[in-house]
Every structure is written in C-alpha cells, then in structure tokens.
Amino acid sequence: MKIYKKELIYNVPAHRGLVKITDHVREALKESEIKEGLALVNTMSITASVFINDNEQGLHHDWEKWLEKLAPEFPKEQYEHNIKENNAHSHLKRAIMGRECVCAITDGKLDFGGFEDIFYYELDGQRDKKVLVKIIGE
C-alpha cells in the first residue's frame, strides 16, 4: 500500500475567486507514483471550497451571482456570526459548494469524465489558504 500527501497553498488577491487546480493535483499524483486508488482533495479552510465542475468563464460568473443570491454577503448584520467576524456568508456559500472531492485513480491518472476539472473556490481570500491532497492505493 502506498500513501502520499501534499499541501498546496493558494493566495487569492480578491475576497472571492476561482482557481483551477486540476494540474496541481495531477502533479501530486505523478509524485506519488500511485497507479490505482483514491485521491482526496479538500480545502483545509472553512471559508473555501474544493469541487469539480466546468472550466467555462460564463459559468464562473453565474456561480458568483447565484451564490450571492442564495447566501448574500450584505447586509452584514443579518448574521449573528458577524458580531465577532464578518464572513458568515463565506461559510454558507461553502456549505453549498462543498469541502472536498474524492477522485478515482486508474492507470496512474485522474479517472475523469471529459469536462471534469477540480477548482479551489476562495470565499474569503487575501491570505494564504491550504488544500490537502491525500492519495492512497498501490
């Protein structure tokens, strides 16, 4: 049994933003030398998301608008969390988008459908945040 771990660091200059990280996960997979197994990719931050979807700019704009409708940032006072902090909306948006993805590894590759890409969704940025890649298999 082989096990490999890698931490990736992202610092998104805006309050929110999407980063395509598929190639960073592929690099970790190559380093692991694991040919068959499972890869867990999760954000270690509770105000960010790792998820799989489409690398299409129009859709990325739609997500922003849609998440803002479902879990609006303003007014700040609508959230009790914001008595101590100011990012309640980031936690709620993350609940919709999810913390992690688990990927099948087959023949040393991410076993993905044609349009699957892994994204890091920063929901409260302007500082270093970590993504964990943990691969187990053989």
Least distance from a copy of itself to the Cβ atom of residue 8, Å:
13
The two three-digit tokens of residue 59, written as one number:
């859709």
Give how many residues touch a copy of itself by CB under 8 A.
Answer: 60
The two three-digit tokens of residue 107, written as one number:
């023949």
Longest dimension (CA), the chain: 51
52 forms part of the interface with a copy of itself (CB under 8 A):
yes
Which residue lies nearer to a copy of itself by CB, 27 or 132?
132
| Cα separations in angstroms, 63 against 26, 58, 116 | 25, 9, 16
19 forms part of the interface with a copy of itself (CB under 8 A):
no
123 forms part of the interface with a copy of itself (CB under 8 A):
no
CB atoms inside a 10 Å sphere around CB 114:
4
Contact 101, 41 (CB under 8 A): yes
The closest of 92, 68, 64 to 79, measured between CA atoms, is 92
76 forms part of the interface with a copy of itself (CB under 8 A):
no
| x-marked contacts with a copy of itself along 20-39 as a string, rule CB under 8 A | ----------------xxx-
Nearest-angstrom CA–CA distance, 68 and 98 = 16
Least distance from a copy of itself to the Cβ atom of residue 30, Å:
19
Question: Which residues would be at the binding site for a copy of itself (CB under 8 A)?
Answer: 1, 3, 5, 36-38, 40, 42-46, 51-54, 56-59, 61-63, 66, 70-71, 79-85, 88, 91-92, 94-104, 106, 111-116, 130, 132, 134, 136-138
